[in-house]
Structure 1
Amino acid sequence: MISTYFPFLWPTILFHLFLILAPSSSLDNLNGHTKHRREVIVAHHGVVATDDGRCSKIGMDVLRAGGHAVDASVAAALCLGVVSPASSGLGGGAFMLIRLASGKAQAFDMRETAPMKAYKNMYASNASLKTSGILSVAVPGELAGLHKAWEQHGKLPWERLVKPAEVLARRGFKISPYLHMQMEKAKSGILADNGLQSIFTSNGELLQLGDICRNKKLAKSLKAISKYGLKAFYNGSIGFQLVKDVQKAGGILTIKDLQRYAVKVRDPISANIRGLKVMGMPPPSSGGATMILMLNILAQYGVPSDVSGPLGIHRQIEALKHSFAVRINLGDPEFVNVSKVLSDMLSHNFAQTLKKAIYDNMTFDAGHYGGRWNQIHDHGTSHVSIIDHDRNAVSMTNTVNAYFGAKVLSPSTGIILNNEMDDFSIPSNGDKNTPPPAPANFIRPGKRPLSSMAPTIVLKDEKLKAVIGASGGAMIIAGTAEVFLNHFFRGMDPFSSVMAPRVYHQLIPNTVYYENWTTVIGDHFEIPTEIRTSLQKKGHVLESLAGGTICQFVVQELESGKLVGISDPRKGGFPAGF
């Protein structure tokens, strides 16, 4: 039983916590095997873990054919853009963290940028235009980043990597339970856009679970991209058609915006935490730095006893609130100087100072944590974690932001457009209960908005130990950190680390969101009553959440070289490996 893995932990609560998670499944010791759970795989050569098993398999086939982890990430990401189009795609952006077997590490920033005609007060007359619709569209960056990473590290032909996604779009794919849920939640937006209607409806009604969905215009675009590469999208027929569609609908995107788009290859940030090297994305991603600050605070407690049980969850929430207060000072380093803030967030001394402001018997309002600015709440995403035969690793999070992005599909190209402009702050006076927006994240032409995406790679003695990351908007930081804490601080096996129910906090609103939901495949996740009661006694305001983050976790056992891959069942995905 799972309990054999952590006899030293808060046994009663934790035992019941995990029993409640898998009433229909039998969980064995994870030397290998979790019965009846296809979300777990044990392999020796390579593992691809994504939000959709079809894309995991496509990535694994690339590895089997001799491909690099980057090759597999390209094929898997393009697949996700087809079968999980509410969460990512060619019309969006991504952050990719690479750690090569040689020890070299890179952070590929393919985040969307504000169009050149964008300006700080462009939404002053109508803030809702920032949230959805054609004026919420930023310049897509995903394809440029995938291609650049492939140019540097790929082993297989580009056309080989694009082909599976093109075939899926042309022949059609079955609508998954999670995609169907997203379609239902975005129904009004789908029905309001002719492009989305043409793909996701039939006779005026949404396609149903298991129906075949085809996007032949997207297939045509992918075919051109497979043949002509980046040029087709950023300075060719696809780009010109895309811009024409956007401008016809009243948008400000131009072909010069596409031509000027540049991928930024940065150095990853990293910190040594209790004998582990934790690597993450630098700004404009806030995920890596916020997670490292949170972990540095919690690393000062005794592990595992002092970060487990109800008190451990309280400390985790308090560390998260402190970290979110600092996070909002970050922004695009090309436009604002974030070096001091980033240095603080990676500093053990700074973390020690914040720990002193955590009280075990109570929580506080947002002002206690020193947050000067209001938070930005970004939205949905997709994540890929990959380790290949040579132990090259990729952790990549992709996004179009909200479900189906701007709720606009380019009818000429079949590409769903992002609403990434919504991740910028906009000037406002706020009120006595809400801090003002953060100037570091105000709109400027060519600027990248702040993001919560947190692709992470973990090393032990400079050897690859784990690849981790999550989808789920602003909750990504908490979700990724919790899985890390569960495995590396609390001693849980990889599957249990992902299956444990999660809590989230974003400082503003001053609310603990806790999982209480049954997923699309029937698993029920719920924080136990004992923990909720303990948190309420300390002053936390709790609200149940029928949703949360979706984590992809791959762990290498250093002694044997065995890989254990977990795809979070919350989205219905599963990993693939060999």
Structure 2
Amino acid sequence: MVHLPNELIIAIGKEVPAEHDLNTLAQTNRRFLSCIDPILYSRKTMDTTFCASLAELPTIAILRAVQQGGEDTLRKALRYNTDGLDQVLWFAVSHRFDRHLAILLSAYSVERYGTAMIERAMFNAAFRGRTYVLRTLLESGLIDPWRDKLLSRLLCSSVSGNSPASTSYILSIGDFDLDYVSGSGEAALDIAASRNFVEVTQLLLNTGRVDVEITSRTNLGFTPFLTAVYHGHEAIARALLATGLVDVNRATVHLPGQTALMLAAARGHVALVEMLLAQDGIEVDARDDDHRSALTFAASGGCAAVVEMLLATGKADIHARDRLGRTPLSQANSNAHVIGGALLSRKKFDDAEGAYVSDVGGLNWDIDSGSEHDAAYPVETLISCWNKRPVAAISSPGADTAPTVTRSKSHPPAVATAFNDDLGSAAAVANAYAVPELIFSPDDSYGTRGAVASEASECSAIGRDIIAAGGNAVDAMVGTTFCVGVIGMYHSGIGGGGFALVRDAEGNYEAVDFRETAPAAAFEDMYGDDEQLSIAGGLAVGVPGEVLGLEYIHQKYGVLEWRDIMQGAIRVARHGFRVSEDMVVKMNATIKDGKTYLLDDPIFAAEFAPKGELLKLGEVMTRKNLANTLERIANEGSDAFYHGEIAENLASFVQSRNGTLTVEDLETYTVTDRPVKSVRYRGLDVHGMSSPASGAVALQILKVLERYPASAWHDDRNLTVHRLAEAQRFAFAYRANLGDPAFVEERDILQYESDLLSEETIDRIHEGISDDKTKHPREYFPSEEDVAALPESHGTSHIVTLDDAGMAVSLTTTININFGAQIMEPSSGIILNDEMNDFSIPGISNEFGFAPSRANYIRPRKRPLSSMTPLIATYPNGTVYAVVGAAGGSRITSATAQCLWHAVEHGVTMGEALRLGRLHDQLVPNTLTLESFFPDLEGTTAAMQAKGHEVKVARPMLSAVQAIKRRDDGSFEAVGEPRQENSAGYSV
């Protein structure tokens, strides 16, 4: 039997009744495993990460032959059918099954599959230094290496991977453009210099064909030499100097006018400063556009060794003042005990150490004492001189006269508001809310015309003023959301997507899904066993949906002009916003082993570390490239994003980072309407999003809690906490089977959601909750077949708006993990999402051994399951009761349900509901998390442990809820998350 052709084995296999016989047959000869496995899959006798459909048997046969090393089986399978060969080819390359590559290529049809997968395989091989694979692909004749600058692009990829072998091979092929600029805005030499790839740099220099003085197009304006100095890469800098082609006094375009000596001095690169000072013609006292010298930078950075070296040249002017009138000594004020002596040995000051007088705006400011000599002075001076804490606001930049700042002796300076009191016309909008107040005020406010709440007070103010200017809740939402993407770029932005629940003034609801989708080239096993690829880099990027989603909602419901409502976000991006406590936390979270991509990646560093170190609390950050992008979107609509230059740059950049996003992916992206899920809860109608959002999960939690007396929270706090945790555990068990309804074949997702909200299911869950103890996680799933795990989801932003006509929006948007895929497209300033990490990855079980959820496996153009849970609650007569939602990954669902539960059942204001301690239990992992200020934390922890809960105490930032509640008098209670320093709710 083992010598029969594959086709006969398949035919016989279909008739063999016993699993044992099939397994025995499979073990007889490994080369037939590819034929046997599909039969086993069809009988559900084997657990597999591959497709279970017999209709896909030919592809499975090819794939198994590649995996198991059966060359004869592979050849026969290819003669039988070549369906899916492009995917199998990628699988073979990405999983290092190299010996079958030639066989696969011999059957590959460019007419049928195109060249995209061949190119992708080439870039993978070049990046990973797999010269054999690269040579085999290039010599296959399937693609012309001289078209579309393919060799130049491959060179950039091999250099990015620090692969001397593949770099050397590519350089040997022929005479092609070595200065080609990749999608990241860098040429090959730029890439090598920025990443300290010494051997690869030398290979490039040895050709004699690279432009040593090429200026990168990352908007940094760095040459390779400036890049090497900036990062402290001494060996690279010396190699470049050795060519004799480097202009040591050349200045940057970005970091305006800074020379290599300034860059090295600012960062304390002592060896590089010494090397530069030894160069003939070095300009020691050159000034940048802000009149700062290398000595100024060294003094400001506190590097005594560099200060001494510069002074020793006798060419450093210690009297030099920068644009704000500061001398090196005043810059060194906080380091006077270290640097002051070196400076004072060159000059004696008559005034007290550390004081200086600015020539700008009449300011006389004593840094140490904080005393003021003039009562009013320009805001620009304040921003540069006073950075101990975020203070109040900037008025509209570009005004003819600078606004004034006034303050009392006991409080930080505060900017007098520059808002126009007359907001009666839409024409006044651009000026009225162009740059919002930076008000660090209470978390909530009250008004009657409308309300907005978001994680950024500046953005909430934009939304508030849009309503004041005659806009409705949708106009306010759009303006606020674009702004949040500028300031809260670590959570959200136009490189991501989300969901919005919209209620119009007549009480009609629409659930809008603008969630990211998997690119067309994505497939189930694309990450193999390397989950990190779904977290950072190009392969983690899904197709962004935010711009089209916001435009769709605005076109249908908005009343003000699209261009007008975007002006606030554009001006905040262009003219700046203060770094908040929230942002400092997020930036610090990126630091691992003393390093962060926000500094190491020059694209990020241009915005987050313009002076060589991460921006500090209270400093002003600008995002001018993003401002330009937003301006194009404001003028041209979403077409500017999904078609043309921006789309081409995004696709090219993502591909340069080993991703699959294409222009076609962007051009074909669509917004989807989802059914609205609604329940009656405590006399209110609560509306939420259906899958792939998690509205039904939050609604189930509320319905289960409704089975208990509302007074239970006050009567027996610990028992109620246990019941709340158990309701969450059941809800998250049911959630494991949700997914994109268009792609889940195992069940009708919409019917499944209806079932999980049915009275029968709620009764069953209520009866399954024991007041005495918790249970093993497996006991919460609807059935044993449903036991599955979902990936942890991550950071998001939530915005809520409500107006006096009853229009309401609850919107959640995200780029997933903090700073998304950790890549920023340089020309547009767009930070890309890593939404692909929200899919389940086959073969990777969780710590409890639960298999990943098949309903959430990757498919081309599929939308991953999300925790996002925007809700709107109304009275039976249709009057809005509350608009609520949250950010916080998997904790979104539990936080949203808890805050609405507290407000409805426990007689508290919405502000009080948000301030109460929260708990979270998503079943997997098997942990009940309590916030550290949870009421009676010690007693509650002990009580929960006695019931079998594994309790963990976390800092008070499990989630970030934004909410608006209509009060009995008709006014709006707008509440920003009190756990976020910069969050605010505003009403008008």
Q: Under a length normalisation based on structure 1, what TM-score does the superposition of the two structures give?
A: 0.90
Partner of 1:33: none
Which of 269, 276, 299 is the aligned partner of 2:684?
276
1:65–1:37 distance in 2 versus 1, CA, 3 Å: closer
Partner of 2:912: 496
Partner of 1:155: 559
In the alignment, structure 1 residue 189 sits paired with structure 2 residue 592: no
Q: Quick check: which one's strand share is greater?
A: 1
Are the counterparts in 1 of residues 537 and 657 from structure 2 also a CA contact under 8 Å?
no
CA distance in 2, matches of 1:162, 1:306: 44
Aligned pairs for 1:345-424 within 5 A: 345-370=756-781, 372-424=787-839
- The residue identity in structure 2 corresponding to 1:575 is G
Report the alpha carbon displacement of residue 510 of structure 1 after superposing the two structures with TM. Answer: 0.5
Which of 472, 476, 498 is the aligned partner of 1:68?
472
Are the counterparts in 1 of residues 501 and 871 from structure 2 also a CA contact under 8 Å?
yes
Partner of 1:24: none
Which of 926, 931, 936 is the aligned partner of 1:510?
926
Report the alpha carbon displacement of residue 197 of structure 1 after superposing the two structures with TM. Answer: 1.9
CA distance in 1, matches of 2:934, 2:628: 41
Are the counterparts in 1 of residues 789 and 846 from structure 2 also a CA contact under 8 Å?
no
Q: Under a length normalisation based on structure 2, what TM-score does the superposition of the two structures give?
A: 0.53
CA distance in 2, matches of 1:338, 1:251: 30
Are the counterparts in 2 of residues 193 and 409 from structure 1 also a CA contact under 8 Å?
no
Give the RMSD, CA atoms, in angstroms. Answer: 1.5
Partner of 2:960: 550
CA distance in 2, matches of 1:465, 1:189: 44
Which of 502, 509, 520 is the aligned partner of 1:116?
520
1:431–1:112 distance in 2 versus 1, CA, 3 Å: closer
CA distance in 2, matches of 1:383, 1:306: 27
- The residue identity in structure 1 corresponding to 2:703 is N
Q: Deviations over 1:21-77 (max 9, x none)?
A: xxxxxxxxxxxxxxx961121111111011111100000111111112111111000
Are the counterparts in 2 of residues 175 and 213 from structure 1 also a CA contact under 8 Å?
yes
Partner of 1:98: 502
How many residues end up aligned between the 2 structures? 534
* SS in structure 2 of the partner of residue 497 of structure 1: helix
* SS in structure 2 of the partner of residue 380 of structure 1: coil
1:90–1:431 distance in 2 versus 1, CA, 3 Å: closer
Are the counterparts in 1 of residues 523 and 859 from structure 2 also a CA contact under 8 Å?
yes
Partner of 1:295: 702
In the alignment, structure 1 residue 473 sits paired with structure 2 residue 877: no
Q: Deviations over 1:305-362 (max 9, x none)?
A: 2686110010000000001000010000111231332112221221110111111111
Partner of 2:842: 427
CA distance in 2, matches of 1:326, 1:69: 33
* SS in structure 1 of the partner of residue 948 of structure 2: coil
- The residue identity in structure 2 corresponding to 1:160 is D
CA distance in 2, matches of 1:107, 1:442: 23
1:52–1:306 distance in 2 versus 1, CA, 3 Å: closer
Q: Deviations over 1:165-211 (max 9, x none)?
A: 11111111111110111011023232343322221113432111111
Flag structure 1 segments of 5+ consecutive residues without an equivalent.
1-35, 517-523
Report the alpha carbon displacement of residue 527 of structure 1 after superposing the two structures with TM. Answer: 5.7
Report the alpha carbon displacement of residue 107 of structure 1 after superposing the two structures with TM. Answer: 0.6
- The residue identity in structure 1 corresponding to 2:702 is L
CA distance in 2, matches of 1:37, 1:525: 24
Aligned pairs for 1:28-39 within 5 A: 38-39=442-443
Q: Deviations over 1:205-251 (max 9, x none)?
A: 21111111111110110111111011100012211121122122221
Report the alpha carbon displacement of residue 439 of structure 1 after superposing the two structures with TM. Answer: 0.5
Partner of 2:405: none
Are the counterparts in 2 of residues 105 and 267 from structure 1 also a CA contact under 8 Å?
no
Are the counterparts in 2 of residues 501 and 527 from structure 1 also a CA contact under 8 Å?
no
Partner of 1:30: none
* SS in structure 2 of the partner of residue 342 of structure 1: helix
Are the counterparts in 2 of residues 120 and 426 from structure 1 also a CA contact under 8 Å?
yes
Partner of 2:940: 531
1:430–1:175 distance in 2 versus 1, CA, 3 Å: same
Which structure has the bigger radius of gyration?
Answer: 2
In the alignment, structure 1 residue 567 sits paired with structure 2 residue 971: no
1:355–1:210 distance in 2 versus 1, CA, 3 Å: same
Are the counterparts in 2 of residues 56 and 576 from structure 1 also a CA contact under 8 Å?
yes
Report the alpha carbon displacement of residue 488 of structure 1 after superposing the two structures with TM. Answer: 0.7
1:429–1:150 distance in 2 versus 1, CA, 3 Å: closer
Q: Deviations over 1:488-527 (max 9, x none)?
A: 12222211110001111110110011112xxxxxxx6666
- The residue identity in structure 2 corresponding to 1:541 is E
Are the counterparts in 1 of residues 800 and 810 from structure 2 also a CA contact under 8 Å?
yes
CA distance in 2, matches of 1:486, 1:389: 24
- The residue identity in structure 1 corresponding to 2:454 is T
Report the alpha carbon displacement of residue 560 of structure 1 after superposing the two structures with TM. Answer: 2.2
In the alignment, structure 1 residue 206 sits paired with structure 2 residue 614: yes
CA distance in 2, matches of 1:113, 1:374: 21
CA distance in 2, matches of 1:527, 1:113: 44
Report the alpha carbon displacement of residue 429 of structure 1 after superposing the two structures with TM. Answer: 5.7
Partner of 1:576: 986
Range 71-80 or range 340-349, more displaced: 340-349
Are the counterparts in 2 of residues 514 and 527 from structure 1 also a CA contact under 8 Å?
no
Partner of 1:9: none
1:383–1:266 distance in 2 versus 1, CA, 3 Å: same
Range 265-274 or range 184-193, more displaced: 184-193
Partner of 1:21: none
Partner of 2:721: 313
- The residue identity in structure 1 corresponding to 2:717 is G
* SS in structure 1 of the partner of residue 820 of structure 2: coil
Are the counterparts in 1 of residues 510 and 676 from structure 2 also a CA contact under 8 Å?
yes
* SS in structure 1 of the partner of residue 566 of structure 2: helix
Range 106-115 or range 239-248, more displaced: 239-248
CA distance in 1, matches of 2:847, 2:690: 32
Q: Quick check: which one's helix share is greater?
A: 2
- The residue identity in structure 2 corresponding to 1:363 is T
CA distance in 2, matches of 1:447, 1:111: 10
1:355–1:192 distance in 2 versus 1, CA, 3 Å: farther
CA distance in 1, matches of 2:726, 2:446: 35
Are the counterparts in 2 of residues 494 and 566 from structure 1 also a CA contact under 8 Å?
yes
In the alignment, structure 1 residue 448 sits paired with structure 2 residue 863: yes
1:256–1:527 distance in 2 versus 1, CA, 3 Å: farther
Report the alpha carbon displacement of residue 125 of structure 1 after superposing the two structures with TM. Answer: 4.4
Partner of 1:169: 573
Partner of 1:459: 874
1:419–1:158 distance in 2 versus 1, CA, 3 Å: same
Higher relative contact order (CA 8 A, sep 6+): 1
- The residue identity in structure 1 corresponding to 2:916 is A
- The residue identity in structure 2 corresponding to 1:335 is F
CA distance in 2, matches of 1:491, 1:345: 28
1:534–1:165 distance in 2 versus 1, CA, 3 Å: same
CA distance in 2, matches of 1:61, 1:72: 8
